[in-house]
Amino acid sequence: MSDKIEQKNSDSESNSESQEESQESKSSRKRKAYSIEKKLEAVDYANKYSKSSASKKFGVGRTQIINWVNQEEKLRQEQ
């Protein structure tokens, strides 16, 4: 009987480990790196039209566009 309990505990431990791994892979996102040129292109577009439309056109979150607009001077110096 104790063998069955140990086996059951072992199964539930490995099962919970695999659940954690699958949850981790589902919730983790791939981070993208954008070149300075691409960021400035998005900034120029946002300044000409809107941050929202730049977000849609470049496939980046609106908040990220706002961050790039705020960093525009620094980005232009790095270019």
List, for residues 6-23, the tens digit of each pLDDT value.
555 555 554 444 444 545
Please give the full DSSP string across 2-15, using - where no structure is assigned. HHHHHHHHHHHHHH
Asked if 46 and 38 touch (Cβ cutoff 8 Å), the reply is no
- Is pLDDT of 26 > 90? no
Q: Is 16 exposed, middle or buried (0-12, 13-18, 19+ CB in 10 A)?
A: exposed
Domain assignment of residue 69, yes or no: yes
- What gap in Å lies between CA 45 and CA 51, rounded to an integer? 8
Domain assignment of residue 16, yes or no: no
The model's pTM: 0.63
Domain assignment of residue 41, yes or no: yes
The domain containing residue 52 runs over which residues?
Answer: 36-78
Domain assignment of residue 43, yes or no: yes
Domain assignment of residue 7, yes or no: no
- pLDDT tens, 40-75? 999 999 999 999 999 999 999 999 999 999 999 999
As for how many domains the chain has, the answer is 1
Residue type, 66: I
Domain assignment of residue 49, yes or no: yes
> How many alpha carbons lie under 13 Å from residue 9 in its C-beta half-sphere?
6
